[in-house]
Amino acid sequence: MNPAMRMASQEVEQMIMLLLPSGRATIQYYAESMGTTVRALQWMLDAGGTSFSELVNRARMQLSTQYLANPRVRITDVAGMLGYGSIGAYSRWHSEVFGISPRQWRTPAIQRPLQSSAF
């Protein structure tokens, strides 16, 4: 992979991690903040072997795990911080990605190690 393309992917991924909770995780926002077009950003990410949606999904996986580890953060709030308009949409995504609902994830008997390979 071209080092410049890898750097673009890493930069976008870092920005997603920082700004996803604020609701500004759109490809248009990132392209504008990087001084490029949406199509050029898509091309850079594609050349780096990824896509914007893959980076958002990885960020959501990591942040979901972090947020759910704090029992004081409501699942509804986690859904909002990850950009979901409803707890139902977040729960469906979580169940699809992790195989269990967010509520089940929090169950102490189901504690699991964070798998770095998933990110």
Rounded to whole angstroms, the Cα distance separating 36 from 61 reads: 27
Residue % of the chain over a pLDDT of 90: 53
In CATH, the architecture of 3-118 is: Orthogonal Bundle (1.10)
pTM: 0.80
Q: Per-domain residue ranges for the chain?
A: 3-118
| Token output for 73 | 């953060």
Do 94 and 101 form a contact (C-beta atoms < 8 A)?
yes
Q: How confident is the model at residue 72 (pLDDT cuts 50, 70, 90)?
A: very high
pLDDT top residue among 23 and 13: 13
Examine the pLDDT at 118 and tell me if it is beyond 80: no
Q: Give one DSSP letter per residue of 1-40, joined into a string.
A: --HHHHHHHHHHHHHHHHHGGGT---HHHHHHHTTS-HHH
Segment 14-36, tens digit of pLDDT: 889 888 888 778 899 988 988 99
Do 9 and 45 form a contact (C-beta atoms < 8 A)?
yes
Average pLDDT (76-90) is 93
Examine the pLDDT at 3 and tell me if it is beyond 90: no
